[in-house]
Structure 1
Amino acid sequence: MFGGGGGGLDPRKMEQMMKQMGIDVDSVDATEVIIRVDEDTELVFDSPQVTKMDARGQNTYQVVGSPEERDRTDTDTQTETVDIPDEDVEMVAMRADVDEETAREALKQNDGDLAAAVAELE
């Protein structure tokens, strides 16, 4: 369909055709792209080439590079390292009418924010 032969189209001709069809192509200056595959795994592209195509308001991104597969359980340790004072746990447990273990977990998930923990539990 495009150009016959084995070489494909000249990039300039391809760009002209895309403009005629209303497709804008721009380079995105990205330093890292992370794709979360599932709750335990992510693909990390360091210094990728990223292209954004805008076809009549519908954006499509193309990422070119070699990803590193990373285990997310190694990077999601922030909630376990938050130091939660016992007084805060007691206050959230009393206010939200839950046990202290539930209150502590809500505080960890909300980075120690008392109001957010109570709001989550109510």
Structure 2
Amino acid sequence: MFRLNPADIRRQFKRLGIKADVDVVEAEEVIVRKTDGKTLVLANPQVLLVKMQGGMVMLQAVSNSVEEVEAIGEKAPEISEEDVRLVAEQAGVSLEEARRALEEVGGDIAAAILLLEERKKASGAS
């Protein structure tokens, strides 16, 4: 299998004038949930986590196999309008942003608020 080299990736970013920290992530699989409801599963991948200036993060994954499946895990929990309003109010974001954050964290209100706060800090640091 083609191997990603963290030092080579760092050099490439440096040539582009981008400061980046590159770390190898030991992973058994990478799961990508697509917007059409299907899921891609990369088995035994080599994964690099690239943290760029401004808070941007990029993941690079290389694998010999990818499988597309209908769904993995349980169905997402129902998210009430009351929860959406609470998260939006506490995090100071729109209802749409609050709903997306709740969906990302499986309906966990505290985790959604923390996620939105982290994003606000990251976008403010740019």
TM-score normalised by the chain length of structure 2: 0.42
Q: Which gives a bigger RCO, structure 1 or 2 (Cα 8 Å, sep 6+)?
A: 2
The TM-score, its normalising length taken from structure 1, stands at: 0.43
